[in-house]
Amino acid sequence: MYSALKVILIVIPLLCFSDQLKAAQVKLLVLGDSLSAAYGMKQEQGWVSLLQNSWQDDGITIVNAAISGETTDGGLARLPRLLKQHQPSHLLIELGGNDGLRGYPVDKFKANIEAMIALARKEDVVVLLQKMQIPTNYGRRYTQMFTDSFDQLAKANDVPLLPFLLEEVALNPELMQKDRIHPNEEAQPLIAEFMRQQLEPLLTK
């Protein structure tokens, strides 16, 4: 009886430690633009920092490599160094919005995103893709092609596609900055919770 109890007391902590070790190995690299870079506010007020704070006790680390104004060209150029420097387990690609706002060819930024997916997979990094949306500045045809490109990329490359991160705030002017493109400080906790719900099942499975 004593021996059996002793084994249980040893095994349970080991199992707990194993779970903690598994969680500790989750490192998410966010390769994004101003929507993830806390544009117009302090870095710690942005959704990425808020989400990292909520995961402090869960052993999930977020590396925020988002830069305001970033395009898929810039993201692709930076990615090899970021992968080497941070060695993430997961990569979230939140790019394409600035390409679309500038009217860049859809095939061009699709090729860039596919190249990023290939680079990450070469390092055994799990890739997640964020769907992006843009206003109809360049007409409905271009906008539809832009929107559809993310579904096409996700299907062709077999990567999870996350909904547009401003899905629950973009149509509320009280949650947007004056430019109507960037979310304000009040929107950040809502975005963080939205992203937590989207990311947790993908990071912990």
Q: Is residue 19 annotated as part of the catalytic site, yes or no?
A: no
Mean confidence (pLDDT) of the chain: 91
At 25, is the pLDDT very low, low, confident or very high (cuts 50, 70, 90)?
Answer: confident
**Neighbour count for residue 126 (Cβ, 10 Å):** 18
pTM: 0.88
Q: Is the dihedral of CA 18, 161, 86, 120 positive or negative?
A: positive
What backbone phi and psi angles, to 5 degrees, belong to 77?
Answer: -65, -35
Domain map (residue ranges) of the chain: 26-203
Quote the pLDDT of residue 179.
Answer: 94
Higher-scoring residue by pLDDT: 125, 12: 125
> Could you give the CA distance from residue 159 to residue 162 in angstroms, rounded to a whole number?
10
Per CATH, the homologous superfamily of domain 26-203 is SGNH hydrolase (3.40.50.1110)
- In the residue annotation, 179 being an active-site residue is answered as yes
> Which one of the listed residues 33, 34, 36, 149 is annotated catalytic?
34
pLDDT at position 13, please?
A: 46
The residue annotated as part of the active site, out of 36, 90, 149, 182, is: 182
Looking at beta carbons, which pairs linking 155-160 to residues 24 or more positions away fall under 8 Å? 156/114, 157/114, 157/117, 157/127, 157/129, 159/117, 159/127, 159/128, 159/129, 160/128, 160/129, 160/202
pLDDT tens for residues 122-143? 999 999 999 999 999 999 999 9
